[in-house]
């Protein structure tokens, strides 16, 4: 899967030029203009173009990804986010964090190209064409979800129709006009795309795990509706997703298998990633932070972040180990391989379901929500430590569900999007606090840091449209 055909991107540009000059009909030696469905479908397998979407600065803001002291001694975009520097002008500093923006739109552009040209692709049936188009619509919607929850405010029904989100681009033409739409419009577009994909015949069993299947579509709709605080729809689609796949990986067995290597004093083994392409929890695999062209190591996490894991969490014990190198102490990642950092998994869907059940509970009966949470925890918490959780208030339920979700989906967009959602709701908002070099730092729920600024290149060169920054600095 790693060495799939890479289409020549310049050829894709030629397909969208409006000029009729004869020289455009000349194919360079050794290159190929896509024509068959197989040619176009191969673009979905170019993971570096369509699946490599980092959300690095959101990880810094949450302090999920460790940053060494030497990288914090000057004012950079990294240090501003990691140390919650409210006074720095991130717009000026944002000449480096372009990966999230351009890689997301690269995936969008590929999907747009497929949706424009697959209908006339040769050597295929209508059903086969519809399947490829359905994959493209789900991937495009997921790319817009990352953009909307990174560069714009979170969804709030009362303001979603007036606040700006991100540019909505639906054409692969280089000079196609585009508009920066409202938050409501981008959410409506995502939902429409995915529901059309389902109607178009998205298969229960996709071609590969890097092609989103029917379960992935349901899981993504559950994620989107949760973000919109539409808990009934989120619950409905969570149940539909779990009907497609409800498997959970046994992390306690993984820990037992590798325990000797993990616990050996002074040893930092390179363990195989369990959350790769064959992870039983996958609906859809998308690399996110990890480069899909080669195996990468698990990211390191700060000591303070490690304290947020539940006692006896086998997933934590299997993935990180305390280490000190020179002036830095942190938890070093132990796994190496491929990680599903931007896709969809059953664990996320179970926890969406748990939150929705908790919110609809009556008479302080949170047992259904806790049953779902405990089902997940039983595959994560060592048997000698595990105890089923029970709660009597919604606040307790949300706190426990959120703890497991933040920990299980660390390094993905989800904890960042959830934090923004809870901050906007107010009831479950949190002020983050830490001490670094004797100084206390805080990040309040209303901070402008929760919205990432568009990169300078995008604002200065917006193409055939305009981009308005969603933050003041």
Burial class (CB in 10 A: 0-12, 13-18, 19+), 72: middle
pLDDT of residue 364: 83
Percent of the chain predicted with pLDDT > 70? 93
CA angle 270–274–277, rounded 5-degree value: 120
Angle between helices 346-360 and 214-227 (to 10 degrees): 40
151 φ/ψ angles, rounded to the nearest 5 degrees: -105, 0
Q: By C-alpha distance, which of 85, 150, 139, 89 is closest to 111?
A: 139
Of the CA atoms within 13 Å of residue 425, those in its CB half-sphere come to: 17
229 φ/ψ angles, rounded to the nearest 5 degrees: 65, 25
Confidence of residue 8 (pLDDT cuts 50, 70, 90): very low
62 vs 83: CA distance, rounded Å: 10
Q: Which pLDDT tens digit goes with each residue over 112-134?
A: 999 999 999 999 999 999 999 99
pLDDT of residue 98: 84
- Helix-then-strand count for the chain, H and E: 19, 11
Confidence of residue 463 (pLDDT cuts 50, 70, 90): confident
Buried b (16+ CB within 10 A) or exposed e, 185-209: bbbebbbebbeebbebebeeebeeb
Q: Which pLDDT tens digit goes with each residue over 345-392?
A: 999 999 999 999 999 998 889 999 999 999 999 999 999 999 999 999
In a domain? residue 278:
no
Confidence of residue 94 (pLDDT cuts 50, 70, 90): confident
pLDDT value at 459 more than 80? yes
Q: By C-alpha distance, which of 10, 54, 17 is closest to 171?
A: 17
372 φ/ψ angles, rounded to the nearest 5 degrees: -65, -45
pLDDT of residue 144: 98
In a domain? residue 329:
no
In a domain? residue 307:
no
pTM over 0.85: yes
- Pair of tokens at residue 68: 């060494």
Angle between helices 99-117 and 126-151 (to 10 degrees): 160
Cα 91 from chain centroid? 23
- Sign (positive or negative) of CA dihedral 221, 226, 231, 235: positive
pLDDT of residue 33: 82
pLDDT of residue 24: 38
150 vs 62: CA distance, rounded Å: 13
**To the nearest whole number, what is the mean pLDDT of the chain?**
92
Confidence of residue 343 (pLDDT cuts 50, 70, 90): very high
pLDDT value at 92 more than 50? yes
DSSP one-letter string for 262-306: HHSTT----EEPSSSTT-TTEEE---TTS-TTS-EEPPPB-HHHH
Confidence of residue 11 (pLDDT cuts 50, 70, 90): very low
Residue 59, number of CB atoms within 10 A of its CB? 25
Over residues 403-425, the mean pLDDT reads 98
pLDDT value at 448 more than 60? yes
DSSP one-letter string for 36-76: BHHHHHGGGG-HHHHT----HHHHHHTT-S---GGGSSS--
Confidence of residue 57 (pLDDT cuts 50, 70, 90): very high
SS3 439: strand
pLDDT of residue 28: 52
- Going by the DSSP 8-state scheme, the letter that residue 22 receives in this structure is G
pLDDT value at 95 more than 80? no
In a domain? residue 355:
yes
Over residues 394-407, the mean pLDDT reads 98
In a domain? residue 338:
no
CATH of the domain at 238: 1.25.40.390
pLDDT value at 21 more than 50? no
Over residues 423-428, the mean pLDDT reads 96
- Pair of tokens at residue 115: 């949706």
Q: Which pLDDT tens digit goes with each residue over 230-284?
A: 999 999 999 999 999 999 999 999 999 999 999 999 999 999 999 999 999 999 9
Pairing of strands 179-182, 439-443: unpaired
Over residues 425-444, the mean pLDDT reads 95
Q: How far is the CA of 380 from the CAs of 195, 290, 374, in angstroms?
A: 33, 23, 10
Count of domains observed in the chain: 1
User: Are 209 and 245 a contacting pair, CB within 8 Å?
Assistant: no
Q: By C-alpha distance, which of 453, 445, 446, 447 is closest to 470?
A: 453
Over residues 13-33, the mean pLDDT reads 46
Q: Which pLDDT tens digit goes with each residue over 171-214?
A: 999 888 999 999 999 999 999 999 999 999 999 999 999 999 99
pLDDT of residue 168: 97
SS3 164: strand
Confidence of residue 467 (pLDDT cuts 50, 70, 90): very high
pLDDT of residue 25: 46
In a domain? residue 357:
yes
In a domain? residue 128:
yes
Position of tokens 């195989």? Answer: 272
Percent of the chain predicted with pLDDT > 90? 86
Cα 303 from chain centroid? 24
158 vs 77: CA distance, rounded Å: 31
In a domain? residue 264:
no
| Helix or strand holding residue 165 (H, E) | strand 164-168
Q: Which domain holds residue 442?
A: 9-248+343-460
Pairing of strands 320-325, 432-436: unpaired
């Amino acid at each position: 899967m790693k060495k799939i055909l890479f289409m020549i991107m310049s050829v894709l540009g030629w397909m969208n030029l409006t000029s009729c000059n004869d020289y455009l009909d000349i194919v360079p030696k050794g290159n190929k203009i896509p024509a068959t469905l197989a040619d176009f479908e191969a673009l979905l397998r170019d993971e570096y173009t369509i699946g490599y979407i980092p959300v690095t600065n959101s990880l810094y803001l949450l302090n999920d990804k460790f940053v060494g002291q030497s990288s914090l001694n000057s004012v950079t975009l990294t240090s501003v986010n990691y140390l919650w520097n409210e006074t720095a002008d991130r717009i000026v500093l944002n000449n480096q964090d372009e990966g999230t923006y351009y890689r997301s739109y690269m995936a969008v552009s590929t999907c747009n190209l497929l949706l424009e040209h697959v209908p006339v692709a040769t050597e295929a049936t209508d059903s086969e064409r519809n399947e490829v188009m359905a994959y493209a619509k789900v991937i495009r919607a997921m790319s817009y979800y990352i953009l909307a929850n990174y560069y714009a405010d979170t969804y709030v029904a009362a303001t979603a129709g007036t606040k700006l989100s991100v540019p909505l681009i639906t054409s692969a033409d280089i000079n196609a006009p585009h508009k920066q739409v409202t938050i409501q419009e981008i959410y409506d577009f995502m939902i429409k795309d995915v529901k059309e994909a389902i109607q178009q015949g998205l298969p229960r069993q996709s071609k590969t795990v890097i092609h989103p299947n029917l379960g992935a579509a349901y899981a993504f709709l559950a994620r989107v509706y949760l973000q919109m605080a539409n808990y009934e729809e989120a619950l409905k689609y969570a149940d539909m997703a779990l009907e497609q796949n409800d498997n959970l990986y046994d992390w306690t067995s993984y820990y037992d298998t590798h325990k000797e290597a993990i616990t050996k004093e002074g040893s930092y083994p390179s363990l195989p990633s369990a959350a790769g392409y064959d992870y039983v929890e996958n609906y859809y695999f998308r690399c996110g932070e990890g480069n899909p062209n080669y195996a990468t190591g698990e990211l390191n996490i700060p000591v303070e972040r490690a304290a947020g894991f539940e006692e006896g969490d086998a997933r934590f014990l299997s993935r990180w180990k305390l280490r000190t190198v020179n002036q830095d102490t942190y938890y070093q990642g132990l796994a190496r391989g491929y990680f599903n950092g931007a896709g969809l998994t059953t664990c996320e869907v179970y926890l969406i379901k748990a939150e929705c059940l908790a919110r609809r509970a009556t008479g302080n009966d949170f047992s259904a929500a806790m049953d779902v949470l405990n089902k997940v925890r039983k595959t994560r918490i060592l048997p000698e430590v595990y105890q089923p959780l029970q709660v009597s208030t919604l606040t307790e339920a949300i706190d426990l569900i959120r703890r497991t979700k933040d920990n299980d989906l660390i390094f993905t967009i989800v904890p960042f999007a959830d934090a923004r959602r809870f901050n906007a709701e107010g009831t479950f908002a949190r002020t983050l606090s830490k001490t670094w070099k004797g100084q206390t730092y805080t990040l309040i729920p209303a901070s402008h840091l929760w919205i990432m600024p568009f990169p300078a290149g995008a604002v200065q060169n917006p193409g055939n449209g305009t981009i308005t920054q969603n933050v003041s600095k």
